Structure formats: structure tokens, C-alpha cells
Structure 1
Amino acid sequence: MATFAIGDFEELRVAAERSPRSVPAAQALLKHIRMAKMRESEMVVRHGSKLVERQAALGDEYWSVLEQVFLAALDVDERSLAQTCLQALNEQFPESTRVKRLVGISREAMGKYAEAEEIYKGMLEENPANQLVLKRQVCVLKAQNKIPAAIKCLNNYLKQFQADANAWQELADLYLSVSKYEAAAFCYEELVLANPTSHINHCRLGEIYYTLGGKHIAKARKYFAQSLELKKTNNARALHGLAACCHANTTFKDRNVRADVTAALHEYASEELAKLYSEQSPTLLPKVEAILETQRAAIEK
């Protein structure tokens, strides 16, 4: 699997900025952004707009660049540029399902959701298992703030494609937006199973269980601890979560949670947070220490 270093991106960006008329420099930058799946819409539009009229210089890569510039242009509301790219793609590939999906996305950007939905329905009649189009239907519902319908649509999608981690994360976010924390926790349990080495997934699952409170605090503490096991440095979010869970144990008594372990974990989180803030944000350190001291006093009672 190819890897893309931040340093490579910075070198390409600097080269493109220093030579704003250079087609190879812009081409190399856009290719890196495309292959690394980065979202740098303003940069893509700035450097990609000059490539739109340079088909001969780009060869077969021209069509990939057009698609990339089209999506970036919609992202920054450059509709004229987006339409230019889409028209060229449509003329070159009139029967392409990929281009039809781009047409649907353009209708979404214009707020013409009914038209976009009709395009997607037609595409699904031809291929009911088109994952990208099924996801676009969820986007159409979400854009109209039809959250319950979007949740139902995404659940139906996941019945067919259970291994889609991005879909589980989107479903979790939708559940969180309507305060369905237990359902969101189930989604993040799936994400942890799919990627057990992700400290972020463990931390977010810990936050959801902490929000549920009560009997879920012990679970939250375990996930924060596992997040810290996976990423021991610069993981302030999990450290704060661990400290908060230890403090929460003082109000919700769980006979399975030992007081000495709670105190030791809080002491560990406090020491690590003090070290982290003293190095990276010393102005906030007194406030953090005051919070931690209040928590410690409650734990030691």
C-alpha cells in the first residue's frame, strides 16, 4: 500500500506556489492530493483551474483532474468552474454511471434534491448494489435534515455492506445528532472490531459511554485506558476522559470498581496531563490543575 508523507505534500505545494504557471507542478500537486485522499478544495481549485483547458498536456490523466476539480469547485461554491468540468466529462463519457453520479451531486449542490434522487433511483434500477449511489441517497436525506429517514436508509445499506467502516461512523454521527447514545455506542463497537488499533475509536466510544453515565462509566474508563495504551503520548482527550471517569465513580458507586485503582488511574492521568500542558499549553495549566485537584479531593473522600 502506498504511503503519502506530509513532507512530500509540502514540497509539492511550495513548488506549485512558486511556479503558478507550471502545469507539471500543478499536476503533481493535484495527483498527490487525489491519491492521498486529502480534502484541499481551495488549493485544488486554485491550481486545478489552469489545467482544465490543458487536455493535451495531461493526457489520460486529464479526466481524473476534471473530476477532482469539479468536486473541489462544488466544495467552494465555484459553480461555473464545476459546470465547465461536468460538461466536458458528460460529453466524453455520455453513458458513464460515474458521470451520472457527478450530475446527481451537482443537483444536490444546487439544492435540487428531488432531481438528484430521481437520478440515483434510475442508477439503482440498473445496479441495485451501487454502493456510492446508495450513500448519495443518505446524503440527500441528511442535507434536507431528514435525520430519521437518513438513519433508516443507512441501516438498510449496512445490512448489505456490513464491513463499511465509514458507513458505521456516519451512522454513529447521525445517532449522536439525535441523542441516541446507545445506538451510537453500538456503531462504535463495530468500528472497534473493524479497527482495534485505532486509539480514536476507543476514545470516542469511551466518550459515548461516559455520556450515558451510571453503569456505563466502568466501560467508558476501560475504553479511555485502552486508547491510552494504543497512544501513550499527546492523547489529552483520553487522559481527560480517564480522569473524568475516575471522578464519576465517586457519585455512581460500582462495587466492581476498586477505590485504590480509581485513585491510581486518576493520579496517572493528572501527572500526564500536567506534563502535557506544561510543554504545549502552559497558560492553561493552572485551570487544568484546579479541575484535577477538585476531582482528586472528591476521590479521596
Structure 2
Amino acid sequence: NRLIILPDVRDQFRTWREETGRHSEEVVQLWVAVLEDKVHKTGNERHLILEQVIIAALDTARFDIATECTKQLALEFPGSLRVMKFKAMRYEALEQYDEADEVLDAIIAKDETNAAPRKRKIAILKARGRRLEAIKELNEYLKKFMSDQETWHELCNMYLAEGEFGKAAFCMEEVLLHNPHSHLIHQRLAEIRYTMGGVENMESARTYYSQALKLNPHNLRALYGIYLCCNQLDNSRAVSSKRKELQKLSQWALEQLLSKQTIVPLEAAFGNLEIKSN
């Protein structure tokens, strides 16, 4: 085996950082084998390497390594919010949630515009099974960071788990404001409205399914959703003129579904077919 030398390890760590790959086990192994006693020789990349090792050590439950690297950073940057973040991550990984909360509160007190520690506090509530408190905190968070689409998605999922479909629909409508051309968001909103039931929600679901299909003509779920909505509305107390329109749309959706269900397997089969001449 070729001797592993410091410049090679430093370059490999840099490559992993640039690729945004974690490679946690390999990072820890190289730290123990090469870098632990030589990290001071890595120049201006030293702090980046220490942070990289902390994350990898927490991923692999090497809390001793995470603690040692965090201490090295803390000596150079006492009171640093980044160092405090790593301390909170270590407590969280150890399931010492009260201690993690204290550190996160201290970070928020120093920088109220920092969204990350607030989100970690919510994650801790979820990890402790305190779902209703997590929902409350998510709502408070979104009052300050209204454009955080990921959190609107998360709150939507939590409301769905609690059976709060109306509130879940509101969350997805907020996401839709930022992504009006996403067929998947239209589809998700349609599915929530369909689940809620009732004529008004069914009409709304049909509209969202139709928009999803318009944005992506290959969306079979949206096509099937249109078919289901039309059938549900046709069985309701719809006026006769409306029922004819619904039946026509339902028949069209069914024909499209049947044709696509036939085409998709054929495309898959012929796509893998290799034709050879003798």
C-alpha cells in the first residue's frame, strides 16, 4: 500500500468539501491515521478541516474526536457562534437536549436573525415527541422567516399527521406562492383538498389537478386525480349542465389514462431493446 502523506489527505479533504460530500467514515479514519497530530501543518485550511472532522465524528458517533476538535476551535475563537453551533450539535447527538437548547438559546440571544438555531430547537422538540409544541414553534418561526419554503413544507406535513387538513392546505398555498410553476405542489394541494372532501374542496382539487397536468402533461397522478374528482362531483348534486361537462372531462381523463398506461410499459420495453443485425 502507498504511504499516505499529509498533502494528499489535505487535498482529499478539500475535494470532499467542494463536492459537498460527507464521507464521514473516511474522514474520521484519515484524521486518526494522519491528521490528528499534524493538523497544525495544514495552513489556512486548518479550521475548515477541523469543522469537517467535527461533522464526520458526530455522524460516526466518535464524540471524543468531535469534542477535541471543538475545543481546538474554541481556544482560538472563544464565543464564536459557529463553535457554539458545534457544541449544540454534539449535545443533540448525545440526546442531551436540555443542554443543546441552552446553547441554541444563547446563539439566538446573540443573533436574532439567525434562522438555523431556531430550526434546530424545533427539530429537538420533534425528536422528543413533543409534536404540538413543535407546531407552535414552527408557526412562531414562520412569522419571522415567511419565505422559508422548506419550513412551510415541514409544517404542512405535521398538520397532515395531526389530521389538520385545512391548515395543511394553507401551508401548501404559501409554498405555491413561491413556486407557481411547480406541478408537484399543485398536485400536493389537490390531494389535500380531495382528502378534505365536500363539493367545494372537490372543485378546488380538480382545478389544482388540472393546473398540475397543464404544467406537466405526463403527470399520471394529476390525470387520475381529475378523473376521481369528476366522478365525485358527478355523484353530487351538480346541475345537469355541469354534470355533462364533468362526464365529458371524466371520459377524456379515463381515455388518456388508458392510452398512457399502454404506452409507458411499451416505451420501457422498447427503450431497453437492442437491435442487432446478423
Q: TM-score by structure 1 length?
A: 0.71
**Residue 293 of structure 1 aligns with which residue?**
none
Mapping for residues 70-109 of structure 1, pairs under 5 Å: 70-71=54-55, 74-75=58-59, 77=61, 79=63, 82-83=66-67, 85-109=69-93
**Residue 5 of structure 2 aligns with which residue?**
none
Return the match for 1:31 from 18, 32, 51: 18
**Residue 140 of structure 2 aligns with which residue?**
156
1:144 aligns with 2:128: yes
Mapping for residues 3-42 of structure 1, pairs under 5 Å: 24=11, 27-33=14-20
Aligned-residue Cα RMSD (Å) equals 3.1
Mapping for residues 1-301 of structure 1, pairs under 5 Å: 24=11, 27-33=14-20, 44-49=23-28, 52=31, 53=35, 55=39, 60-61=44-45, 63-64=47-48, 66-68=50-52, 70-71=54-55, 74-75=58-59, 77=61, 79=63, 82-83=66-67, 85-214=69-198, 215-233=200-218, 235-255=219-239, 258-280=242-264
SS in 2 for 1:258: helix
Amino acid at match of 1:93: F
Deviates more, 1:57-66 or 1:92-101: 57-66
With over 3 angstroms needed to count, the CA separation of the structure-2 counterparts of 1:71 and 1:217, relative to structure 1, is: farther
Amino acid at match of 2:24: V
With over 3 angstroms needed to count, the CA separation of the structure-2 counterparts of 1:264 and 1:129, relative to structure 1, is: same
With over 3 angstroms needed to count, the CA separation of the structure-2 counterparts of 1:219 and 1:115, relative to structure 1, is: same
The count of aligned residue pairs is 253
- CA distance, structure 2, for counterparts of residue 212 and residue 273 of structure 1: 24
SS in 2 for 1:249: helix
Whether contact under 8 Å (1:210, 1:220) holds in the other structure is: yes
**Residue 292 of structure 1 aligns with which residue?**
none
Moved over 6 A (4+): none
Aligned-residue sequence identity (percent) comes to 33
Q: Deviations over 1:62-93 (max 9, x none)?
A: 54455455445545655556556545544453
Whether contact under 8 Å (2:13, 2:49) holds in the other structure is: no
Shift of 1:223: 0.9
SS in 1 for 2:206: helix
- CA distance, structure 2, for counterparts of residue 63 and residue 267 of structure 1: 64
- CA distance, structure 1, for counterparts of residue 224 and residue 18 of structure 2: 39
Whether contact under 8 Å (2:27, 2:53) holds in the other structure is: yes
With over 3 angstroms needed to count, the CA separation of the structure-2 counterparts of 1:238 and 1:113, relative to structure 1, is: same
Q: Deviations over 1:31-84 (max 9, x none)?
A: 223xxxxxx65xx22443356427579754554455455445545655556556
Q: Deviations over 1:90-116 (max 9, x none)?
A: 445332212212221221222111111
Shift of 1:193: 0.7
With over 3 angstroms needed to count, the CA separation of the structure-2 counterparts of 1:129 and 1:264, relative to structure 1, is: same
Deviates more, 1:74-83 or 1:168-177: 74-83
Gaps of 5+ in 2: 1-7, 267-278
SS in 1 for 2:234: coil
- CA distance, structure 2, for counterparts of residue 257 and residue 65 of structure 1: 70
Shift of 1:272: 4.2
Q: TM-score by structure 2 length?
A: 0.76
